Amino acid sequence: MEKIEIKDEDGGVTHIKRFKGKSFSPMAPDDFESHLRLVNTANYTEKDVFVVAYPKSGMNWTFEIVNMILRNSSEYFPNIPPFLDMATPSMLQSVFGNADKPGLIANHYQPQFFPQAAIKQKVRIVFVYRNPKDVAVSQYQFYWKLKGFGEYKNVSFKNYLKRYLDGNVPCGDWYSFHKEWLDLKADNQDYPILILCYEDMKVNLAENVRKIADFLEMNLEESTLLEIARKCEFRTMFQHKNSNLPPEMHMATEIKEHIFYRKGEVGDWKNWFTVAQDEEFDRHMDPLLDKIDINIRYSL
């Protein structure tokens, strides 16, 4: 891993790591090749599920829903979801060590770093995307709260937006991340990948819960599906999570709240973008969005 310093015109400094031309969190393992070998050692099966998303696109929310469906229960997951990005031998054993039940893990990696052992077993992938403007705001509000990301406190939103569009943030630029995953699906029509839209989930969560259950071939009672949708409505889940902080939350932040959930609103970007920033963002992003086949909704 190569450590890269990003300095803006106002003197704000942040760091990312790079590996094979891709951007990663400053907390990513230095010996990334060893990490990739590790994540290929797990005992994956076709029953396992990976929830994949670009940072701050609804991955934790979707993980919660998928976990409830797999367990046929509306009970909340009590801990921070296990992330492939942070995998350890004990974590992999805990998640994938029981062949009688499906493993479930979250993942921010681009396809080229996805475990080939998992691909070979055709693990199921639930991929969720969110409009890139709200993602930019959510990332900006999130990173400075994380341990190891304190330098983001000294970066203005204007300068963060430039980093974001340039790909100088964890997981690189929004467009490339999504194009690579969508290309994987397009090039492998028989591979089990479900694409979900964050904004669609906000409009009709019950419908998307059913869609996930069908994809996972889980035949749940309608009453259970509706209860999962009710429990996972963003405001309901937000209140529960902040009243029941996972014991390991202190490992991620010094803030006394569940930092993975903030507003969950569609269109919050309008409270942050100036007219000029919005126009510049569209000039940069619109030609790229024309190259990928997903529906982007900046408001409801």
Q: What is the 3-state secondary structure (H, E, C) of 183-220?
A: HHHHHCCCCCEEEEEHHHHHHCHHHHHHHHHHHCCCCC
* CB contact burial 253-285 (16+ within 10 A = b; e otherwise): beeeebbbbbebebebbeebbeeebeeebeebb
Tokens coding 56: 């701050």
Known catalytic residues are 108
Q: How far apart are CA 88 and CA 251, in angstroms?
A: 15
The pairing of strands 22-24 and 13-19 is antiparallel
Beta bridge partners of 1: none
Tokens coding 14: 């942040």
Contacts of 215 (CB under 8 A, 6+ apart): 124, 126, 192, 194
Tokens coding 89: 């031998």
Cβ distance 135 to 175 under 8 Å? no
C-alpha triplet 286, 292, 298: angle, nearest 5°? 50
Element (H, E) at 71: helix 59-71
Closest to 207 in 3D by CA, of 193, 228, 238: 228
The one-letter amino acid code at 200 reads D
